[in-house]
Amino acid sequence: MEVEAWLPIETDLAQTDVLSPNNKNARPNLSRSISGRRWHSTFTVSDLAPLQMNVSFPANYPESVPPIFTLSCYWLDGGQLSALCRRLDAMWGEMPQQPIVFTWVDWLQNEMLSFLGLDKAVVLTPYMEKDVEILGPIDPRALPVCCDLQQGIMEILSHNRTYEMEKFQKENHDCGVCFDNRPGKEFYLLNNCLHHFCHDCLASYCDTHVSDGTVQLLLCPDIDCKNPVPPALVKELLTTDQYQRWETLMLQKTLDTMEDIDYCPRCNMAVIKELDSSKLAHCTLCFYSYCTDCKEAWHQGRMCKTIEDKLEELEQRQTDQNEKARIIAEKLKQHLKEEDSPRKLSRKQPQHVQDAQ
């Protein structure tokens, strides 16, 4: 069944998921009408959300009064539901004092669309006050739930999605990876592209990319598809440890693409750069303030050291260390000489001292 939606131009499309063009299989893409007064969209569904009929039976039914009922539907407005209510009343008038509910249900299932002129397409449009002049006032038994057309569209698509999923699970399909033919309940059907793969293949596929650290390549396995595997499905397929690794890697990849993020050279903590052009960054974990260009300690007002400057400084530091080591070595030698002199004197005592001893 084809569904046409006509929304008032005042509708704030930026506040609704309905107009997301990225998922053509789940949401319609709305465009401006030729007149410029409305937003228009056309999409096809396999099964419409059901018309709901609530019935209660008075004590004197069917001898003297008909059942009490209400009608509600996402894709029928108040005027259309009122027309159905009047038609059901007329059917009771044609069959007084007879059980009528099953007759009503059969007519609604088989004749309702023709009666409303909706054989080829269902048209969603707001019920205007001026429509009362043509269709009459809204019947109190008509309970339109499509007052918000955006919500109505999403409910129609959600019901159709559930219907297609149930149908998919009842049939056999070929896996796009291993090409095995299996029942639909053994497959994962990706929401945004509708490609399907068996549980084992998709689980192995996700595990391989997470283990190899290539989470940015965790896309639909179909060779011509670039849609990412939904995070909820990734969580279902991976173990707890693997999913935590996936989250960490995804965060890392995301931070790497952000121009205002840097990493502390001491603790490797993600650091947000200062908004100005000072190239200053301050790590909130180890409290290290550094220059984002050279990764050295913050040096406000001074140019970053070049490689030549760093080599020269290293050589000078080495020279200084060698000089300090030389001085320490000389002092140590002098100290050893001074300690060794008394011992030499004691070994060279005069001959008469030795004779006396």
Q: Give per-residue pLDDT as tens, 196-219.
A: 899 999 999 999 999 988 888 888
Determine, yes or no, domain membership for 165. Answer: yes
Q: Do residue 114 and residue 8 come from a single domain?
A: yes
Q: Do residue 27 and residue 142 come from a single domain?
A: yes
Distance CA 68, CA 92 (A): 12
Distance CA 234, CA 238 (A): 6
Whose CA is closest to 229, among 255, 203, 253, 262?
203
The residue among 146, 170, 194 that closes a domain is: 170
The residue among 136, 170, 204 that closes a domain is: 170
The residue among 117, 147, 170 that closes a domain is: 170
Q: Do residue 210 and residue 325 come from a single domain?
A: no
Determine, yes or no, domain membership for 37. Answer: yes
Q: Do residue 10 and residue 150 come from a single domain?
A: yes
Q: Do residue 22 and residue 51 come from a single domain?
A: yes
- Please report the pLDDT score of residue 10 as a whole number: 53
Q: Do residue 157 and residue 213 come from a single domain?
A: no
290 strand-pairing partners: 281, 297
CATH (domain of 223): 3.30.40.10
Determine, yes or no, domain membership for 269. Answer: no
Count of domains forming the chain: 3
Q: Do residue 39 and residue 88 come from a single domain?
A: yes
Q: Do residue 133 and residue 177 come from a single domain?
A: no
Q: What are the tokens at 225?
A: 């598809």
When pLDDT is averaged across residues 100-120 and rounded to a whole number, the result is 90
- Please report the pLDDT score of residue 136 as a whole number: 63
Strands (E), 172-246: 172-174, 181-183, 187-189, 196-198
Distance CA 247, CA 253 (A): 10
pLDDT at 54 over 90: yes
Cα 192–chain centre separation: 11
Q: Do residue 52 and residue 161 come from a single domain?
A: yes
pTM: 0.55
Q: Do residue 249 and residue 346 come from a single domain?
A: no
Tell me the residue range of the domain where 349 lies: 307-356
pLDDT tens per residue across span 127-177 = 554 455 555 678 889 887 665 677 777 788 888 888 888 898 899 999 988
Determine, yes or no, domain membership for 287. Answer: no
Determine, yes or no, domain membership for 273. Answer: no
Distance CA 252, CA 284 (A): 18
Q: Do residue 166 and residue 177 come from a single domain?
A: no
Q: Do residue 123 and residue 134 come from a single domain?
A: yes
pLDDT band, residue 88 (cuts 50/70/90): very high
Identify the residue whose tokens are 């699970």.
Answer: 169
